Structure 1
Amino acid sequence: MSNSAASAVLTTASLPEAIRAVRTLLDIADTDRAEVDFEAVIRSPDVLARVCAVLPGLEWWAAEGKEHGSSEAGDDPADFLPVQVFDWCRPLDRAEPFIAALGPDAAAVRWDLDAWPDVPEAGLEHISQKYAYLTLTVNSRDLYQEELSRDHTVYVHTRGGDDEQLARVHWLAAQVGGEFTGRVESARL
C-alpha cells in the first residue's frame, strides 16, 4: 500500500462552493475511467436510509468493529448505528447524491482519477493515475472524519515532496479560487 500527499486547497462552510470546486477540478482531470470511493460514519436512521438508497449493496460495519455487526454478516445496519461506511469503485454520478444524503454526518468522497494532465503554460507534466486523486471531506476537517466541523475541504493528491508537485497544488488551488495553506495529510491509497 502506498500513500499520496493530500493537500487542502479549499475549506469552506458552503457545501455548494465545495461541490463547485470539485466539478472544476474534475473538468481539469482526465476522468475517462475514473471512479469514486466513499467513507463515512452514519449516525441516524434517516441518513442511513438515504445513503442506502444512493448506494445499494453498501459495505458497512458497526463503529465498534465488524464483530458487532456488518454487511458481510448480512446484518441490518439500522440495528447497529453508528456504522462506518466504506464503499469503493462506484460511478462518478453517485458522488453528489451521496453528499446530498449525508445531512450533518461526516464523510470523505474520493475521486480516483486517470491522471492530472500536463499544463505546459504552468510547467507541469502529466501525473499518472497512481497519484491523481481528489477528495472532498464533508462536515470534517480531515480525511478520516476525526475532526468534525461544519466546514468542507477539497484536497488534491499528488506524489508530494518536490517543487513540481507543490507548483501543481498551487495551480489547482488557483483554478478553484482557493489557496494552498500548507495543510497536507498522508492519504492511504
Structure 2
Amino acid sequence: MSNSEAAAVLTTAHLPEAIRAVRTLLGIADTGQAEVDFEGVIRSPDVLTHVRRVLPDLRWWALAGEEHGSSEGGDNPAECLPVQVFDWGRPLDRAEPFIAALGPDAAAVRWDLDAWPAVPEAGLERVSQKYAYLTLTVHSRDLYQHELSQDHTVHVHVPRGDGDRISRVRWLAGQVGGRFTGRVESAPL
C-alpha cells in the first residue's frame, strides 16, 4: 500500500466548473490504462435508481453494517438505505454519469492515472502511477465525506514528502484556474 497526499486545488459551488477542471487535468495526465473508483453514501431511493443505471453491478453495503445488507449478500439496496458505495476499477467513461446521478448525495470519484507527466519548463519530473491520482469530491470538501458542503472540491494527489510536490500542486492548480490553499489530506491507497 502506498500513500499520497491529496491537495485541494479548486473548490466551487458549480459542479460543471469542477468537471471542467477534472477534464483539463485528465488531459494533462497520462491516462492510457487509467480507471476510476467511487466512494460515497447513497441515501435516497431516486439517487440509488440513477446510480444503478450507471453501475448496474454496484458494490455496496448498508451504512448500518454488512449484516444489514450488501451486494455480496445479494440483498436489495433499496431496502437497506442508506448504503455505502465502494466501487473500484471502472472505465473512465462511468465517472461523469455517476456524478450526474448523485443528486444531493456526497461522494468521491477518484481517477487512478498512469502518471503525472514531466513538465520540464516547470522543473517537474514524471510522477509514476503509484502516486498519480485525481479526486473530485461532490458535496464534500474532504476525501471521505466527513465535511459535507454544498460545493465540490478537486484534489490532485502527489507523493508524500516529495520535494517537488508543492510545485506540482501549484502548477496543476494553475492549469485549472485554481490555487493551492494549503489543504492537504493523507490518502492511503
User: TM-score band (shorter)?
Assistant: over 0.9
- Is the Cα contact below 8 Å between 2:114 and 2:129 reproduced in 1? yes
CA distance in 2, matches of 1:162, 1:74: 44
Equivalent residue number for residue 90 of structure 2: 90
Matched, 1:78 2:67: no
The RMSD of aligned alpha carbons is: 0.7
Offset at residue 162 of structure 1 (A): 3.4
TM-score (norm 2): 0.99
Offset at residue 64 of structure 1 (A): 1.0
CA distance in 1, matches of 2:59, 2:162: 36
Offset at residue 70 of structure 1 (A): 0.3
Matched, 1:153 2:153: yes
Equivalent residue number for residue 104 of structure 1: 104
The superposition leaves residues 130-188 of structure 1 with CA deviations (integer Å, 9 ceiling, x where unpaired) of 00000000001110011111010000000032331110000000000000010000112
CA distance in 1, matches of 2:165, 2:101: 34
Give the letter for the 1:23 counterpart: R
- Is the Cα contact below 8 Å between 2:113 and 2:132 reproduced in 1? yes
- Is the Cα contact below 8 Å between 2:3 and 2:160 reproduced in 1? no
CA distance in 1, matches of 2:188, 2:47: 26
Give the letter for the 1:2 counterpart: S
Equivalent residue number for residue 23 of structure 1: 23
CA distance in 2, matches of 1:80, 1:46: 14
TM-score (norm 1): 0.99
Give the 4+ runs in structure 1 shifted more than 3 A. none
Q: Which stretch shifts more, 156-165 or 34-43?
A: 156-165
Equivalent residue number for residue 54 of structure 2: 54
Q: 1:162 to 1:188 in 2, by over 3 A?
A: closer
Task: Report SS of the residue matched to 1:149.
Answer: coil
Equivalent residue number for residue 3 of structure 1: 3
Equivalent residue number for residue 114 of structure 2: 114
Task: Report SS of the residue matched to 2:146.
Answer: coil
CA distance in 2, matches of 1:121, 1:3: 27
Give the letter for the 2:21 counterpart: A
CA distance in 2, matches of 1:160, 1:118: 18
Q: Percent of counterpart pairs with the same letter?
A: 79
Offset at residue 101 of structure 1 (A): 0.2
Question: What runs of 5+ residues in structure 1 fail to find an aligned partner?
Answer: none
- Is the Cα contact below 8 Å between 1:31 and 1:114 reproduced in 2? yes
Q: How many residues align?
A: 189
Give the letter for the 1:149 counterpart: S
